[in-house]
Structure 1
Amino acid sequence: MGSFFLNSATGLILCASCIFFSLLMYQSNRDTPGTAYWSAGTALFASGLLFLSWQSSTPAWVSIVLANLFLLLGMLFELTGTLLFFNKKPIWWPLLTSILLISLGLLYFTYIQPDNNSRIIIFSLAYVAFKSSVLFVLHLNRGLHFRVAMRLFNATIGLGLVVMSYRAAITYYPEYLGGDKIIKLIHQLVAGLPFFICCAMLLGFFLLCNERQLLSIKKLQQLALQQAENKKNYSHF
């Protein structure tokens, strides 16, 4: 991963905030399918970002290896939670295999042939793949519902995809896509922006849960009205 410009105190506060909101979301929606995975995914992703901010003061196995593992597992849990929310059973072997292969690539470019740019590209592409998958599942299954949550997901995931895609591209072709100032700006965005995207996506899932509950209430009301109408018609005979 690239240089992170958050100091330890700021990273700790942002991480603690994400974990706090994930716990609140779990407590209020624990009966909704996928909530536990989304809460755990948010906590893991925020913790991974915190570990990344310690690159100048901790060994590589913490600030690179463990950090990237937490980030990858966090995104995996978000995708799994999204699938479960729509009552879709995740297929674990391709998901876990992808995590393993990405981790091996990151380990290779950390210890065997150290290359920070290669790690940036690998993780950026993994980020794009997982977040795009979440967005795809949402659009595929939402039907005519969850409009407010979808707007938030589209905005936050879309922003993350643009930044991370450009980050991968500018790392590979720095001479064509920007100078040192642009590269520094992108790294600064990557330093803090994912924390806010993390919280915004958690809010999006919270909105999904709320609308799901409202839809359930409406269905119960319609069922009660239908039963009352049937009872009324039956009483006429």
Structure 2
Amino acid sequence: MLHTQTLALATTVQLVSLSVFLTFFFFTRRTYPGFANWTCALACLAVGYVLLSLRGIAPDAVSILAANYLLMTGMALLLDGILRFSGRAYSFALNGPLHLLSAVCVAVMAFYTFAEPNINARVVVVNLFRCVSHGACVAALLYFQPKTDRTTHRFLALLFLASVTLGIVRAGFALNASPLQHLYDDPTFRLFMLIDLGVVAGIVFCLPVLTHMRVEQELEQERAVAERASRTDKLTGLWNRAYFEAETERRAREADRFGDELSMLMIDVDHFKTVNDKYGHLSGDEVLRSIASLARTCIRSTDLLCRWGGEEFLMVIRAPNEVAAQVAENLRRVIEGASFSVPQGITISVGVANRRAGEELTSLMARADHALYRAKAGGRNRVEQEGGDASRFSPLYLKWNPAFSTGEPALDAQHRGLIELSAQLLERCTANDRQSVLHLTRKLLDNAEQHYLYEECVLEDRRYPDLEAHRSDHRRLHEKGRELFDRVADGEKDLSAIISYVLNDLVIGHIAEEDVAYIAHAGREGSVSRSQPGS
């Protein structure tokens, strides 16, 4: 059997080393509330054992009372650390009783040191405190263990339970043993000290492991949050464009493989620019968030909904065209009947298209876009279905309506020219004549730019109140058109992007919507209509 003083020295060296290790870990690694308590606990245990080893050299008040008080304080701090690490704030009702008990135990030990010296009684007192404190640690670890990765928590609880068992056995031996003249005379003391070496080492080993596991869990959560953020729209929380495209392509492959039907809904908020101009962009953002929230209540968990950009949303569902149209109509009614943060009513227009086997995403989107255009041209706040693929569409003609006249002959002539040029461009798009489309697009953008400058002069002369907003819209249209032309010319975008720009941005979004506001100011009304050949 090892020499008692040697074991005492080994225990002291171990505790000091572990205390230094935890201190180094605390100051050099990412830690959490509670780790500082554990570091202080090891420091108290280390100093307590140092003082305990000075028995016979230092006064009893130091080598017995101070030493055991530090040992018991260390045990109490271990519990404090577990509670803090588990998210429990420090409170006297929760943490105070054990520290008070340590003070009571020291008072009792003082009695059995100076009034009626009794080593056996002191051993019982210390080990009973050990049982209470480490038993509380077991309860806290099991009660606050996480839902996943419980192994370390349970192993640490097992070590504390072993310490409780050791304390009970140790107290039992002290009660039944003959009175000891010196603690080192107890033959079981060396055995218990040797076992303590392993238990304490195991406990201290688990503390950094718990911390490391917490770091890994938080990193995993942060990665999940970052991954989710990379796939969602920040404003609405819906899927973003990049994820929608990738997921739709995957679902399209599945549909081709298993023969499923896919339908696309293209959703546009009616007169949304008016909301932004009249009530501000913050109100516009709130409207978009509300629409997204309402849309979530109208779809299944398997449906794919994204914010495509601006006030446009796209949805892909595994259903035939008729079912998709019913979903769109239900959504339209929900939006129409909802209350929003702005006084004016909010409605949506929806275009629905059913995917054909092997059809590319761009073609499906183009057909849904055409259906959306029909819904907007038909008066908005409605659902339109599209059939067939984009290559089989009859050419679309934009027709000038004389009722759109502003009273400015030059301005009317420019509007008429832009609409006629747009009609030629759409015809070439449906014919897939790329060179003609690029030529006509460049011509349309040049003519539109000249028109914008002239129109701004007219509006300024007539003191149009929304001139600055109109001028800003001109700049936006011009920049978007030039950028789109370059991307189509470089092959980054297909011709359907040109169709969408001409129909939704230039004709509907600006001439048929923004200029209508000007006509109202001028006391006149007008419209742009679309018809098939011969209409």
Instruction: Give the TM interval when normalised to the shorter protein.
Output: 0.7 to 0.9
Equivalence for 1:158: 161
Q: 1:203 aligns with which of 197, 201, 205?
A: 205
Paired residue type of 2:72: L
Equivalence for 1:85: 85
Equivalence for 2:277: none
Structure 1 outlier segments of 4+, above 4 Å: none
Equivalence for 1:170: 173
* CA deviation after TM superposition for structure 1 residue 156, in Å: 2.2
Instruction: Give yes or no for contact 1:11–1:50 (8 Å, CA) kept in 2.
Output: no
Which whole-Å CA distance do the structure 2 matches of 1:114 and 1:203 have between them? 37
1:28-53 CA-to-partner distances (Å, cap 9, x unmatched) read 44541111110010111122122222
1:5-34 CA-to-partner distances (Å, cap 9, x unmatched) read 233753543233122222123124454111
- Secondary structure in 2 aligned to 1:234? strand
* CA deviation after TM superposition for structure 1 residue 102, in Å: 1.3
Which whole-Å CA distance do the structure 2 matches of 1:143 and 1:167 have between them? 33
Task: Please list, as runs of the form range in 1=range in 2, the aligned pairs for 1:35-74 lying within 5 A after superposition.
Answer: 35-74=35-74
Equivalence for 2:19: 19
Equivalence for 2:508: none
Equivalence for 1:219: 221
CA RMSD of aligned residues (A): 2.3
Which whole-Å CA distance do the structure 1 matches of 2:86 and 2:123 have between them? 32
Distance 1:39 1:15, change over 3 A: same
Paired residue type of 2:199: I
| Greater fraction helix | 1
Unaligned runs of 5+ in 1: 176-182
- Secondary structure in 2 aligned to 1:41? helix
- Percent identity over the alignment is 18
Structure 2 residue 307 is matched with structure 1 residue 234? yes
Unaligned runs of 5+ in 2: 179-185, 234-239, 241-305, 315-535
Which whole-Å CA distance do the structure 1 matches of 2:71 and 2:60 have between them? 15
Equivalence for 1:32: 32
* CA deviation after TM superposition for structure 1 residue 88, in Å: 0.4
Equivalence for 1:5: 4
Equivalence for 1:115: 118
Which whole-Å CA distance do the structure 2 matches of 1:50 and 1:220 have between them? 44
Instruction: Give yes or no for contact 2:138–2:158 (8 Å, CA) kept in 1.
Output: no
Instruction: Give yes or no for contact 1:52–1:63 (8 Å, CA) kept in 2.
Output: yes
Which whole-Å CA distance do the structure 2 matches of 1:24 and 1:196 have between them? 21
1:128-186 CA-to-partner distances (Å, cap 9, x unmatched) read 111111111111011323433224313422322222110101211349xxxxxxx61x3
Instruction: Give yes or no for contact 1:75–1:130 (8 Å, CA) kept in 2.
Output: yes
1:71-92 CA-to-partner distances (Å, cap 9, x unmatched) read 0111111111111101102333
Which whole-Å CA distance do the structure 1 matches of 2:72 and 2:88 have between them? 21
1:84-118 CA-to-partner distances (Å, cap 9, x unmatched) read 10110233332332122111111111111111111
Instruction: Give yes or no for contact 2:141–2:157 (8 Å, CA) kept in 1.
Output: no
Which whole-Å CA distance do the structure 1 matches of 2:65 and 2:54 have between them? 12
Distance 1:11 1:50, change over 3 A: farther
Which whole-Å CA distance do the structure 2 matches of 1:164 and 1:112 have between them? 25
Which whole-Å CA distance do the structure 1 matches of 2:33 and 2:59 have between them? 38
Distance 1:127 1:103, change over 3 A: same
| Greater fraction strand | 2
Equivalence for 2:364: none
- Secondary structure in 2 aligned to 1:56? coil
Distance 1:104 1:27, change over 3 A: same
Which whole-Å CA distance do the structure 2 matches of 1:39 and 1:77 have between them? 9
Paired residue type of 2:77: F
Equivalence for 1:180: none
Instruction: Give yes or no for contact 2:73–2:99 (8 Å, CA) kept in 1.
Output: no
Which whole-Å CA distance do the structure 1 matches of 2:213 and 2:149 have between them? 6
Instruction: Give yes or no for contact 2:19–2:43 (8 Å, CA) kept in 1.
Output: yes
Q: How many residues align?
A: 226
Instruction: Give yes or no for contact 1:128–1:161 (8 Å, CA) kept in 2.
Output: yes
Instruction: Give yes or no for contact 1:152–1:200 (8 Å, CA) kept in 2.
Output: no
Which whole-Å CA distance do the structure 1 matches of 2:129 and 2:144 have between them? 23
Which whole-Å CA distance do the structure 2 matches of 1:89 and 1:56 have between them? 42
Instruction: Give yes or no for contact 2:9–2:53 (8 Å, CA) kept in 1.
Output: no
Which whole-Å CA distance do the structure 2 matches of 1:76 and 1:30 have between them? 24
Paired residue type of 2:41: G
Instruction: Give yes or no for contact 2:51–2:62 (8 Å, CA) kept in 1.
Output: yes
Q: Give the greater-gyration-radius structure (CA).
A: 2
Instruction: Give yes or no for contact 1:47–1:70 (8 Å, CA) kept in 2.
Output: yes
Distance 1:96 1:210, change over 3 A: same
